[in-house]
Structure formats: C-alpha cells, structure tokens
Amino acid sequence: MKRQLLFPRLLLLAVFLLLEAASLYLVSRNAELQRTWMAQGGHWFMDKVWGATQSVRNYYSLAETNRQLALENFTLQEQLLHCQEQLRSQYAEDQKVDSLAGYGMIPAEVIKISRNKQHNYLILNRGYQDGIQEKSGIITHNGVVGIVDAVSEHRAFAFSFQNSDISISVRLGKEGSNGLLVWDGIHDNGAILKEIPLQNHYQAGDTVFTSGHSLMFPPDIPLGVAGKAKVVNGATHEIEVTLFQDFSSVRFVTVIHNRDMEEIEGFEL
C-alpha cells in the first residue's frame, strides 16, 4: 500500500518543481524588476562563493609567503651588516679586509619559544648539519634574540635574551659609554643598561647598539632606545631601555657565528 502511494507523491513533487522552475523562468523573461533581483541574487551568490574560495587560497599561501619574506629579509640584513662594516673600514688606515668576513650567517626558523619564565629559551629548526655552532648569536633586523647553547644534528637550543643569565656588551649612542644590557625580567620589550659611569652623560632617546666587544655579535646592531636612569651605589647609572625586538612575534632569525672565536679565546686562557 505504501509503495502504491509513493509513486503518486513523487510525481506530484516533480510536477511542482517543474512548475516552479517554469514560473521563475517566465518571471525572469517578462518582469524587469524581478529579473534584476534575480541577477543581483546570482551575483551576490557568486561573489560569496568566490570570496570564500579566495580566502582559503590566501590562507594556505601565507606560510610560503612568510618564508619568502624571511629569506629576503635575511639577504637584506646580511647586506646591511656588510655595508656598515665597509663604512667603518673607510676610516681605518691600511685596513683592506672587511672584518665581517670572519662571521658566518645562516637563516633559521624558531620552532619553539619560552616567554613566561625567568630563564626563557628557544629552539631552532637548524643544527650542526646546517652549519650551526654553539656560542653563535641569534639576531633579527630588530636586534638580538639570543645565544645558541647546544646543537644537535637538525636542531639548536638557545638561551633567549629574555633570560636572567644573559647579558650583552653594548654601547650607548654612536660614541658613548660601553655597558651591559640585560632583560628587565618583566616586559617583553624592556631591558636595563648597567655600568654606565656617572660622569658619562647621555640623552633619553639615544640608541643602544652592540659594542663589538662580544665575540658573538658584530658592532653597531641597533637594539633599542634609552629612557629613564637611576643612580646605583653612587657610582653608575642604570638606564631603562625599550627594545626594538618584539619577542611575542619572533619567528625567522639569523644565526651569526664568529669564525675567529676559538683563536681569540685562546689568548684569554
């Protein structure tokens, strides 16, 4: 009995759909207003479909785009460091060799980073098979990120600058005093410049650079801007520094290694 009723119902449904399609066709052919509405509806539907499809394509292309930008940034950073070194060498008599020839530079990507501790670290996707060595510096175009501590075949473990055990030899301004820069232990972009003698004057807003006295970093890498100061033990200034580096978004970095490190360290023993 049910099968006998099923066919008439299907037939009625087919007739209904056919009549609906015919009605829509006639409306679109004979009524200008309705035809306009239907055309607009079709355009709106196609726009939404195309937009959603394009958004999906753009999302999956972001990773490759970021990698390309990181490689371009690495090349520009390498060129910038060499240009800075060439400018310095112009003022030194009989200096024929670019001192950055003693540094090796390797692009890398941060695959893990710790930011909520006093001893923060990061892990890179490069190891000794890629040329990464211990005691290498890690930088971006915004400043210093950390120092490589241990290396495996395809990974490197590094101490972040946001680590209470890390300090960097820096210079206040182009010709200013040398001191030590440490993380303030609180802010993502906060640091403290220590050991600046009281007799050495400075101005808030001066840029803080790497001094070049460290074996891990070449000189003149801009790190941040000097702010307020306080006197410590009646002998030195401690100066607040706002870093250029944003540790909340660091991903692509450059590992830089001083090839003359072992030879220089031999004189210090």
- 8 A C-beta contact, residue 74 and residue 252: yes
Please tell me the distance from the alpha carbon of residue 145 to that of residue 139, in angstroms, as a whole number.
Answer: 5
**pLDDT at residue 94, rounded to an integer:** 40
User: Residue 129's pLDDT is what?
Assistant: 94
**With bands split at pLDDT 50, 70 and 90, how would you rate the model's confidence at 259?**
confident
If DSSP states are collapsed to H, E and C, what string results for the chain?
A: CHHHHHHHHHHHHHHHHHHHHHHHHHHHHHCHHHHHHHHHHHHHHHHHHHHHHHHHHHHHHHHHHHHHHHHHHHHHHHHHHHHHHHHHHCCCCCCCCCHHHHEEEEEEEEEEECCCCCEEEEEECCCHHHCCCCCCEEEECCEEEEEEEEECCCCEEEEEEEECCCCEEEEECCCCCEEEEEECCCCCCEEEEEEEECCCCCCCCCEEEECCCCCCCCCCCEEEEEEEEEEECCCEEEEEEEECCCCCCCCEEEEEEECCHHHHHHHHC
Residue pLDDT, tens place only, 71-109: 666 666 666 666 655 554 554 444 333 445 578 899 999
pLDDT band at 262 (very low <50, low <70, confident <90, very high): confident
pLDDT surpasses 60 at 22: yes
- Residue % of the chain over a pLDDT of 90: 41
pLDDT class of 136 with cuts at 50, 70, 90: very high
Whether residue 236 is predicted with pLDDT greater than 60 in this model: the reply is: yes
For the whole model, what pTM was predicted? 0.65
Task: List the domains of the chain with CATH numbers.
Answer: 73-268 (2.40.10.340)
Q: How far is CA 13 from the centre of its chain?
A: 61
Distance CA 74, CA 89 (A): 23
As beta bridge partners, residue 181 has 168, 193
Whether residue 118 is predicted with pLDDT greater than 80 in this model: the reply is yes
Least confident of 64-78, 152-166, 175-189, 228-242: 64-78
Tracing tokens 């670019």 back to the chain, one arrives at: 98
Residue bearing the bigger pLDDT, 224 or 176: 224
The whole-number pLDDT of residue 238 equals 94
Average of per-residue pLDDT values in the chain: 78
- Report the phi/psi class of residue 257: left, alpha or beta, with left for phi > 0 and alpha for psi in -120 to 50: beta
Mean pLDDT of 173-192: 91
Say which residue, 191 or 21, is predicted with more confidence. 191
Q: Per residue in 35-57, pLDDT tens? A: 555 555 555 655 555 555 555 55
Higher pLDDT, 268 or 123: 123
What does the pLDDT average to over 235-251? 92
Other beta carbons less than 10 A from residue 169's beta carbon: 17
Residue 180 has pLDDT above 90, yes or no: yes
The answer to whether 178 touches 171, Cβ cutoff 8 Å, is yes
